[in-house]
Amino acid sequence: MEITEVRVTLRDEDKLKAFANVTFDDAFVIRGLKIISGAKGFFVSMPSRRRPDGSHQDIAHPINSEMRRIIEQRVLDAYQEKVKNSSEQDFSHHGSDDDV
């Protein structure tokens, strides 16, 4: 199974930094992954729903640690790229003499 697309939507919240959608083999998408800023850095949280007892249950998740590592790496790489491009766009829109 190959990850063919990762889409990231940035958020400006304390711990929640972005949402991500991951497409596999151009045929199956998992939406609602979260990029969280934790005590040890960024990590990816799988989509989940709240159960009646208040706990959370993953809607979809990798079965083995290797697939979890692959998904997390691809999502975090896409997040860093989106942040970089967003920062470059912000910089290019501020202070340009062309706007005067």
Is position 27 within any domain? Answer: yes
Q: What is the pLDDT of residue 92?
A: 53
Which domain does 29 fall in, by range?
3-47+58-85
CA atoms of 91 and 93, how far apart (whole Å): 5
Burial zone of 83 (CB within 10 Å; 0-12 exposed, 13-18 middle, 19+ buried): middle
Mean pLDDT of the chain: 90
Is position 96 within any domain? Answer: no
CA atoms of 52 and 40, how far apart (whole Å): 30
Burial zone of 94 (CB within 10 Å; 0-12 exposed, 13-18 middle, 19+ buried): exposed
User: What pTM did the predictor assign?
Assistant: 0.82
CATH number at residue 13: 3.30.1120.40
Counted domains in the chain: 1
pLDDT band at residue 96 using 50, 70 and 90 as cut-offs: very low
